[in-house]
Structure 1
Amino acid sequence: MPNFTPDQNKAIVLEAFDTLFNQRDAIAAARFWSPDYIQHSAHVPAGRDGLFARTAAAPPDMSYEHQLAVAEGDFVLLHGRFNNIGQAAAWIVVDICRLKDGVLVEHWDVIQDEVGQAQSAGGHPMYGTAFPS
C-alpha cells in the first residue's frame, strides 16, 4: 500500500487542480480523482462526474491560481482564486481535499466573492498583495 508524505499529497493536489481547472483536461484529470469521490461543495454536483461536468460548463477562460498550499497527513488545504467564473467577482476559495493512496477522495470548500478596496472593511486584499482592478 502506498504511503504518501504531506508534501507529495500537496504536489498531487496542485497538479490535479492545474490539470482540471487550467488545462481543462478531464481525461488526464481522472487519474487524480477517485471514481468514488465525495463532493461537499454546495456549488458542485455530487461525485467526480459532477465536478468534471461543472468544470466543462464553466466559461472557457476560467482559471485557477493558488497562493498557499498546506498539508497534514492525508489532507491538503489550498487558498486560491478562481478567475473568470461567469460572475461579477472572482471567487476566493479555501479548498480542503482528502487523499487516499495519492488520489483525491473527498473535498470541502469555503468560498467568498473577491472584493475591491472600497468594499474591504479591513483595507487588505483577499488574495495576493493587490486588490483586483
Structure 2
Amino acid sequence: MREMVLFAVIRLVLWAGIWWVLTLFDVGVMLAGVLAALIAMLISILFLNRVRDAAAMRWKAADDRRRERHADDVDEDAEAEDSFLDAEAAAADGAHGTDVTEESGSTTASPAGPGQLPELPAEDPASPSADGR
C-alpha cells in the first residue's frame, strides 16, 4: 500500500509543479492542466520505474493472495447450471444429427439442416444462364 500511495503522491506533485510552471508562462489554466498531465505521465514512465514496479508487484501479490483465498469457493448453483447446460447441449447435438437409412443409403437431416432445402431445377445447357454467359 505504501508503494502505491508514494507513486500516486509523486505523480500528483509532479503534475501540480508542471501545471504551476505552465500557468506562469500564461499558457491557460485548462491547457496547462492537460499538458501537465501528459508531461507528468511521460516523466513518470521514464524516471519512476522502480516506484511503479514496486507498486505493481505489491498489487499483484495482494491479488494473488485474494485469489488463493477464494480459489476453494465452489458455487454449487453454477456447477449444477453448467452440468444441466452441458447435458442439454449434448442432447441437442444428438437430435440434430443426420440419420442414414440402410435400405436406400440416403441421409435425412433435421428440419434445421440443409437436407430440408428445396431442390433446384437442373439447368438446361441450351438455355442462357442468369448471368448471360
Structure that is richer in helix per residue: 2
Higher-RCO chain (CA-CA 8 Å, sequence separation at least 6): 1
TM-score between both structures, scaled by the size of structure 1: 0.22
Which has the higher Rg, Structure 1 or Structure 2? 2
